[in-house]
């Protein structure tokens, strides 16, 4: 999906796209790439979520895109501002890997699975159906989300290219 209308989404970042532009984020290990899409108005949104909850934030000014509980409402607001309707939105997500094996597996070391759980919980609160996901595993991903078609392209070294 090589496009001239590519909008990059960095780590702990979010953005929206319209008119066939493509959102892209790289470096999804334990992070989750969450996408929302309004198929009627062709409005797409992507958040690169690093952590499950802003309750653990140590910074004085919170980066809303960094945490699942703040990124998803912010993404929704931005999408609605350009014409998306919440009752039409569908979600897709990728990432949330357990990149390293730890003995004992304390909950604090399960960042990837906790990110996935948190994103699903918040999406469910907004009554947005999750159409597809490629989460878990122990490998990184790069994703591209097409605002014209709603297609999510997932690349990984281990599994190649997958479309959902």
Cα-only R_g, the chain: 15
Question: What span, in angstroms and rounded, lies between the C-alpha atoms of 116 and 114?
Answer: 5
Pick the catalytic residue: 7, 16, 31, 72?
31
**31 assigned to active site:** yes
Question: What span, in angstroms and rounded, lies between the C-alpha atoms of 12 and 10?
Answer: 6
Element (H, E) at 32: strand 32-38
Q: Is residue 136 within 8 Å of 98, Cβ to Cβ?
A: yes
| Catalytic residue list | 31
């Amino acid at each position: 999906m090589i496009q001239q209308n590519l909008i990059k989404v960095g780590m702990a970042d979010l953005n929206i796209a319209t008119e066939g532009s493509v959102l892209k984020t790289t470096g999804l290990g334990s992070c989750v790439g969450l996408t929302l899409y309004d198929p009627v108005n062709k409005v797409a949104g992507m958040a690169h979520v690093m952590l499950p909850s802003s309750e653990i934030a140590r910074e004085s000014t919170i980066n809303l895109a960094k945490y699942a509980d703040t990124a998803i409402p912010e993404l929704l607001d931005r999408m609605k501002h350009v014409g998306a309707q919440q009752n039409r939105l569908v979600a897709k997500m990728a990432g949330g890997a357990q990149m390293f094996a730890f003995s004992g597996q304390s909950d604090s070391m399960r960042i990837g699975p906790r990110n996935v759980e948190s994103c699903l919980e918040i999406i469910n609160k907004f009554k947005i159906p999750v159409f597809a996901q490629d989460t878990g595993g122990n490998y990184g991903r790069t994703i591209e989300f097409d605002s014209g078609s709603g297609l999510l392209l997932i690349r990984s070294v281990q599994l190649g290219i997958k479309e959902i």
